[in-house]
Amino acid sequence: MPRDARYDILFEPIRIGPVTAKNRFFQVPHCNGMGHARPQGHAAMRGIKAEGGWAVVSTEEVEIHPSSDVAPYVEGRLWDDLDIPALALMTQAIHRHGALAAVELVHAGMNASNLYSREVPMAPSPIANPASYVPIQARGMGKSDIRDFRRWHRSAALRARRAGFDIVYVYAGHSLSLPMHFLQSRYNQRTDEYGGSLVNRVRLLRELIEDTKDAVGGDCAVALRFAVEEHLGTEGIQHDGEARDIVEMLAELPDLWDVNVSDWANDSKTSRFAQEGYQEDFIRFVKTVTTKPVVGVGRFTSPDTMVSQIRRGVLDFIGAARPSIADPFLPRKIEAGDADDIRECIGCNICVSGDYTMTPIRCTQNPTMGEEWRKGWHPENVPPRTGDDTFLIVGAGPTGLECARLLGRRGYTVHIAEALESLGGRVTQESALPGLAAWARVRDYRVNQLKRMHNVEILRGSRVTGNDIIEFGAKRVVLATGARWRKDGVGRANTRPITGFDMGSVLTPEDVIEGRTCKGPVVVFDDDHYYLGAVLAEKLQCAGTSTILVTPGDKVSAWTVNTLEQPAIHRRLVELGVQVILNQNVVAFDGSRVALACVYTGQESALPAASIVTVTSRLPNDALYEDLSGRPDALAAAGIVSVTSIGDCLAPGTIAAAVYAGHRYAREFALEHGDEVAFRRELPTIG
Q: Active-site residue numbers?
A: 31, 171, 174, 267
Q: Shortest CA distance to 53 belongs to which of 7, 84, 16, 5?
A: 7
Beta sheet of 522-526, edge-to-edge order:
506-507, 611-615, 522-526, 547-550, 579-581
- Candidate list 177, 184, 309, 349; residue touching ligand SF4; CB under 6 A: 349
SS3 579: strand
Residue 678, CA distances (Å) to 373, 669, 673 in order? 12, 13, 7
Candidates 364, 449, 481, 645; binder of ligand SF4 (CB under 6 A) is 364
Q: Under DSSP, is residue 224 helix (H, G, I), strand (E, B) or coil?
A: strand
Smallest distance from ligand SF4 to CB 357, Å? 13
Q: Which does 396 bind (CB under 5 to 8 A by kind): ligand ADP, ligand SF4, none?
A: ligand ADP
Contacting residue, 350, 427, 512, 513, with ligand SF4 by CB under 6 A: 350
Residue selected from 28, 294, 348, 666 as contacting ligand SF4 according to rule CB under 6 A: 348
Residue 513 binding partner per list ligand ADP, ligand SF4, none, with a CB distance cut-off of 5 to 8 Å that depends on partner kind: none
Q: Are strands 122-123 and 100-106 parallel, antiparallel or unpaired?
A: unpaired
> In this complex, which beta carbon is closest to ligand ADP, that of residue 649 or of residue 666?
649
Shortest CB 27 distance to ligand SF4, Å? 12
Q: Shortest distance, CB of residue 655 to ligand SF4, whole angstroms?
A: 9
Residue 482: which of ligand ADP, ligand SF4, none does it interact with, CB under 5 to 8 A by kind? ligand ADP
The C-alpha atoms of residue 30 and residue 42 are separated, in whole angstroms, by 11
Selection from ligand ADP, ligand SF4, none that 128 binds (CB < 5 to 8 A by kind) is: none
Residues 86 and 75 sit within 8 Å (Cβ to Cβ)? no
Among 351, 382, 433, 568, interactor with ligand SF4 by CB under 6 A: 351
The correct pick among 184, 266, 365, 585 for binding ligand SF4 (CB under 6 A) is 365
322 binds ligand SF4 (CB under 6 A): yes
Q: Which is nearer to ligand SF4, 102 or 350 (CB)?
A: 350
Look at residues 592, 608, 596 and name the one whose alpha carbon lies nearest to residue 505.
Answer: 592
Q: Which is nearer to ligand SF4, 242 or 402 (CB)?
A: 402
Which of ligand ADP, ligand SF4, none sits in contact with 425, Cβ below 5 to 8 A by type? Answer: ligand ADP
Which residues are near ligand ADP by CB under 6 A? Answer: 394-400, 417-420, 425-426, 462-464, 480-483, 621, 624, 647-649, 658
Site for ligand SF4 contains 594 (CB under 6 A): no
For the chain, the distance separating the N- and C-terminal CA atoms, rounded to the nearest angstrom, is: 54
Cα(518)–Cα(589) distance, integer angstroms? 15
Q: State which residue, 104 or 648, has the beta carbon closest to ligand ADP.
A: 648
Does 635 sit near ligand SF4 (CB under 6 A)?
Answer: no
Is omega for the bond preceding 29 within 30 degrees of 0, making it cis? no
Least spacing, CB of residue 393 vs ligand ADP, in Å: 9
Would you say 322 or 405 has its CB closer to ligand SF4? 322
CA–CA separation, 152 and 198 (whole Å): 24
> Quick one: 77 or 446, whose CB is closer to ligand SF4?
446
* Residue 438 CB, nearest approach to ligand SF4 (Å): 9
Between residues 403 and 549, which has the closer beta carbon with respect to ligand ADP?
Answer: 403
For residue 28, state whether it binds ligand SF4 (rule: CB under 6 A).
no
Binding of ligand SF4 at residue 347 (CB under 6 A)?
yes
Task: Please choose which of ligand ADP, ligand SF4, none residue 347 contacts, taking the beta carbon within 5 to 8 angstroms, the exact cut-off set by kind.
Answer: ligand SF4
Query: How many residues belong to the site for ligand SF4 (CB under 6 A)?
Result: 13
CA angle 569, 575, 577 (to 5 degrees): 105
Find residue 221's DSSP bridge partners: 167
- Cβ(344)–Cβ(334) under 8 Å? no
Among 28, 286, 297, 345, binds ligand SF4 (CB under 6 A): 345
Can you tell me the distance from the alpha carbon of 531 to that of 223, in angstroms, rounded to the nearest whole number? 37
CA–CA separation, 124 and 195 (whole Å): 8
- Name which of 58 and 365 has its Cβ closer to ligand SF4: 365
Q: How far apart are CA 410 and CA 245, in angstroms?
A: 56
Angle ∠(554,558,561) on CA atoms, nearest 5:
125
Ranges of H-type helices in 452-565: 466-472, 509-513, 532-542
Report what 325 binds from ligand ADP, ligand SF4, none; CB cut-off 5-8 Å by kind. ligand SF4
SS3 track for 319-346: EECHHHHHCCCHHHHHHCCCHHHCCCCC
Interatomic CA distance for residues 352 and 546, integer angstroms? 33
Buried b (16+ CB within 10 A) or exposed e, 43-65: bbbbbbbbbbbbbbbbbbbbbbb
Asked if 289 is part of the footprint of ligand SF4 (rule: CB under 6 A), the reply reads no
328 is in the binding site of which of ligand ADP, ligand SF4, none (Cβ under 5 to 8 A by kind)? none
Angle at 243 between CA 237 and CA 246, to 5 degrees: 130
Does position 655 bind ligand SF4 by CB under 6 A?
no
Instruction: Decide which of ligand ADP, ligand SF4, none touches 417; Cβ closer than 5 to 8 Å per partner kind.
Output: ligand ADP
Residue 368 sits in the site that holds ligand SF4 (CB under 6 A): no
Distance separating alpha carbons of residues 512 and 529, to the nearest angstrom? 18
Least distance in angstroms from the C-beta of 10 to ligand SF4 = 20
621 touches which of ligand SF4, ligand ADP, none (CB within 5 to 8 A by kind)?
Answer: ligand ADP
Residue 335 CB, nearest approach to ligand SF4 (Å): 21
Interface residues with ligand SF4 (CB under 6 A)?
322, 325-326, 345-351, 363-365
